[in-house]
Structure 1
Amino acid sequence: MQLTAPATRRTGIRDTDGMAVAAFVLGLLGLLVLNVFLGPIAIVLASVALWRGTARRGRALLGLGLGVADLLVLVAFMSADNTMSWSL
């Protein structure tokens, strides 16, 4: 009887689904504040979730795109101000 194997697999799937959602939320939040930190975290979480085979693939891809957008917004504001930081 292998009753523990499906429960363990389900926990792993929930973890990767959580990573995908966290990547999306952090990427979205990173567009507004702390994009130098939240952008790379969103990219890493989304990449790990995709690598582990999340069921929320679309959410992970959005998190990955938003993480990259965070860094692009940071670069755009930094080049406009000619400084290492930006503010509105």
Structure 2
Amino acid sequence: MQLTSVRAVVDRVVGDRATEANNPSERAASERAASDGASSGRLTPSSQSSSGQSSAGAAPAAAPRGRNDADGMAVAAFVLGLVGLLVMNIVLGPIAVVLAALALWRGTARRFRAWLGLALGLADLAVLAVLVTVNGNVVWGFGG
């Protein structure tokens, strides 16, 4: 296996595109080496995954990162908004609102959970406003 085809395989598996952006001629050479390997009948990790075969060293196809991040943001917004109703609503409320808005903007699959996180974050801020108005401070507790 040639050095350029090894670099092409590593770039595909790891996803490191920094070297390709810095050196266009190296990118062209690695693409030629990858196409030569596929046309000569040799199985590379990319041709194995397309033919249905897999090897122990081949990495599974990665899901789109933006979608996973948005789903995580929706869940985090919901959890932080819920916890913020009880403690640290001055901090957790705005964080829940921002995370929920980002998750909705990025197109999360968990839209309902993001909307709940947004509503709970806004409820945190409403509880904070009531506490400041009634008690004159942001601390509250049960009994006495």
TM-score bracket, normalised by the shorter chain, equals 0.7 to 0.9
Gaps of at least 5 residues in structure 2 are: 1-45, 51-60
1:7 paired with 2:40, answer no
1:85 paired with 2:138, answer yes
1:42 paired with 2:93, answer no
Identity %: 59
1:41-72 deviation per Cα after TM superposition (whole angstroms, max 9, x unaligned) = 00000000000000000000000000000000
Please state how far the C-alpha of 1:38 moved relative to its aligned partner.
0.1
Q: Which has the higher contact order (CA 8 A, sep 6+)?
A: 1
Counterpart in the other structure of 1:71: 125
Q: For 1:49, give the aligned amino acid.
A: A
Counterpart in the other structure of 1:52: 106
TM-score w.r.t. length of structure 2: 0.54
Instruction: Report the structure number with the largest CA radius of gyration.
Output: 2
Tell me how many residue pairs correspond in the alignment. Answer: 83
Q: For 1:71, give the aligned amino acid.
A: L
Structure 1's consecutive aligned runs of 4 or more residues displaced over 3 angstroms after TM superposition are none
TM-score w.r.t. length of structure 1: 0.86
What is the RMSD computed on CA atoms of the aligned residues?
1.7
Q: For 1:50, give the aligned amino acid.
A: L
* Higher helix proportion: 1
Aligned 8 A contact 2:131 2:137 in 1: no
Query: How far apart, CA to CA, are the structure 2 residues paired with 1:57 and 1:38?
Result: 20
Query: How far apart, CA to CA, are the structure 2 residues paired with 1:41 and 1:68?
Result: 10
Q: For 1:29, give the aligned amino acid.
A: V
Query: How far apart, CA to CA, are the structure 2 residues paired with 1:33 and 1:27?
Result: 10
